[in-house]
Structure 1
Amino acid sequence: MTTPAPTQPCPCGRLGPNKKPLTLAQCCGRYVGHLDDTPAPDAEALMRSRYTAHVLCDARYIVDTWYIATRPSASPEFELEPGTKWLALEVRDHRVIDADHAEVEFVARYRVAGRGVRLHERSRFVREDGRWYYVDGDTR
């Protein structure tokens, strides 16, 4: 997989105020690979950056942003499915429940082993010590 240049559109598809795609550097590139310095500011930004981490094959970021209580037990060996091609992300809803809890509904499309897959999920997030984490989600 070729990593997109920081000036290319961010894989998450977020648009700026001018309705043009934000670059990787302006968007998720600030968080992926920079978790200690720059955590995502809200649940939607974290969800988008986790999608981008899938595109970039950055399993470490995905594990590190997963809430410890719900993280897969094999997290040190967590691997992404080889040959997965992520195609698009659509954020449908971002609901703030309170200062430390939020939900994000999204649809992610990808292809694996030549088969198209559509993942529709309402994900739950929690903020702990000022940092957002993915908890779990319900798929549709």
Structure 2
Amino acid sequence: MSRRKAGNRQQPAVLATSPCPCGRQQTYAQCCGAFHSGSAAAPTAERLMRSRYSAFVALDGAYLLRTWHSATRPRTLDFDPDIRWTGLEVLSATGGSAFHQDGTVEFRAHYELHGEAGSQHELSRFVRQDGAWVYVDAVE
């Protein structure tokens, strides 16, 4: 379980019994938490994208790096302590199923920064690497 600082006290970012940050109607433990812990693998590109969003919420950098394509993965990952992720909208998905080797997912991730609402819109590209879905990059 990742923890986030709030002043001088530690506060859990995501609890096992919390609603999953990805927006599906399951608890974190039943949904993206299973992917983060390694007890399950994301079966589709969309589920991987949702789990990566949840990893940003949970501050799980190890999962993000593990699910990043080896050719585009950064060496390290830093979280912006001023961003609070507030919601995810999946706008579309192409390919990315059990029958595909690649796929794209278009999403809008909502956040709050210094009390102001904002969003990040992206069309992400995913491929299978060694049988598992991984994030490649954002389509320009």
Compute the TM-score of the two structures, normalised by the length of structure 1.
0.83
Q: How much does 1:84 deviate?
A: 1.4
Gaps of 5+ in 2: 5-11
The equivalent of 1:115 in structure 2 is 116
Alignment of 1:4-83 (within 5 A): 4-14=14-24, 21-34=25-38, 37-72=39-74, 75=75, 77-83=76-82
Note the residue ranges of structure 1 that are not aligned, 5 or more in a row: 15-20
Deviation, structure 1 residue 30: 0.8
Q: Equivalent residue of 1:49, what SS? A: helix
Aligned-pair RMSD on alpha carbons? Answer: 1.6
Q: What is the CA-CA distance between 1:78 and the residue it aligns to? A: 1.5
In the alignment, the residues of structure 1 paired with residue 13 and residue 111 of structure 2 have an alpha-carbon distance, to the nearest angstrom, of: 17
Q: Across the two proteins, how many residue pairs are aligned to each other?
A: 128
The percent identity for this pair of structures is 45
Describe the SS at the equivalent of 2:36. Answer: coil
Letter in 1 for 2:60: D
Cα distance in 1 for residues equivalent to 2:92 and 2:107: 7
After TM superposition, the score normalised by the length of structure 2 is 0.83
